[in-house]
Structure formats: C-alpha cells, structure tokens
C-alpha cells in the first residue's frame, strides 16, 4: 500500500497576481508565494490549497472552494462591500441577498456562491 504523507488540493488561475490580491485582501486568507511561481493558500484547519497559473485556464462548472463562516449574512455583506458579486442560479431558491437558505428548508447549509478573478466558483456557507 502507498504510504501517503500529506495531501493538498490545487486550483488553476489565469492571473496569479490577481488571485493573490483577491484571496489575501478580499477574502482575508493567508497567502504565501510558492517557489514554483504559484501560491500557497493556508486553510484555517491546517493544510494548503496550491494555486498555480494556467494561461489557458477554463473555470470548472462546480464549486472549487467552500469557505465556512459563522454568520453568512455578515460574510455576504462584507464581501459585497469589497466588490464581490454573488451568483444567482436557477432552482437554488436564493433570497434577495443571493443566499440559498438551506437550514430553514431542512436541506443543507445556508450558502452563497461567487467567482474569483479567474471565474472559479467559490462559496461562503454556514451550517
């Protein structure tokens, strides 16, 4: 059996400088330059997400990163004040803040989706 000694996820972006600014300044995450012209985004629970430049990047059609928050309304308001635009998806039953209120419906967390500068889908969610 393979002896796995670590684990991390990777996300491609078109512009590493725009990603650095967005993830550090807009989202408030700990971002460090990686020697491979990439970024290491520190996860609050430990570990990293490796973010690397890919000029021909095409964003995924699914959420690549979920940010857990204690109060989704505060998080959405804060991100909107920083210029983040939230996505509205057909059938998601989102309210006027673009939050899908899963808790009240007994159907998962409260969640709101937005895009990073490369078009990757991210979310803030509250369980």
Q: 83-123: per-residue pLDDT in tens?
A: 999 999 988 889 999 999 988 888 889 999 999 999 999 99
pLDDT of 104: 83
Cα–chain center distance at 111: 12
Contacts of 115 (CB under 8 A, 6+ apart): 59, 85, 87, 121, 122
CA neighbor of 17 nearest in space, from 119, 117, 120: 117
Per-residue model confidence as pLDDT tens digits over 46-86? 999 999 999 999 999 999 999 999 999 999 999 999 999 99
pTM attached to this predicted model: 0.93
pLDDT of 105: 82
pLDDT of 91: 82
Q: Which CATH superfamily is domain 9-126 in?
A: 2,3-Dihydroxybiphenyl 1,2-Dioxygenase, domain 1 (3.10.180.10)
For the cut 90, the answer to whether the pLDDT of residue 34 exceeds it is yes
CB-CB contact of 57 with 51 (8 Å): no
Q: Where are the chain's structural domains?
A: 9-126
pLDDT of 27: 97
The structure tokens listed for 45 are: 């629970």
Beta bridge pairs of residue 50: 10, 40
Mean pLDDT of 19-37: 96
pLDDT of 23: 98
């Amino acid at each position: 059996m393979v002896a796995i000694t670590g684990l991390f996820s990777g996300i491609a972006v078109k512009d590493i400088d725009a990603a650095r600014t967005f993830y550090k300044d807009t989202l408030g995450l700990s971002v460090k330059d990686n020697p491979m012209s990439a970024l290491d985004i520190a996860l609050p629970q430990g570990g990293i997400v490796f973010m690397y430049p890919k000029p021909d990047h095409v964003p995924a059609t699914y959420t690549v990163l979920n940010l857990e928050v204690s109060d989704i309304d505060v998080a959405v308001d804060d991100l909107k004040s920083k210029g983040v635009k939230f996505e509205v998806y057909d059938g998601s039953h989102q309210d006027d803040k673009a939050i899908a209120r899963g808790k009240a419906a007994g159907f998962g967390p409260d969640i709101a989706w937005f895009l990073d500068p490369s078009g990757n889908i991210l979310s803030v969610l509250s369980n």
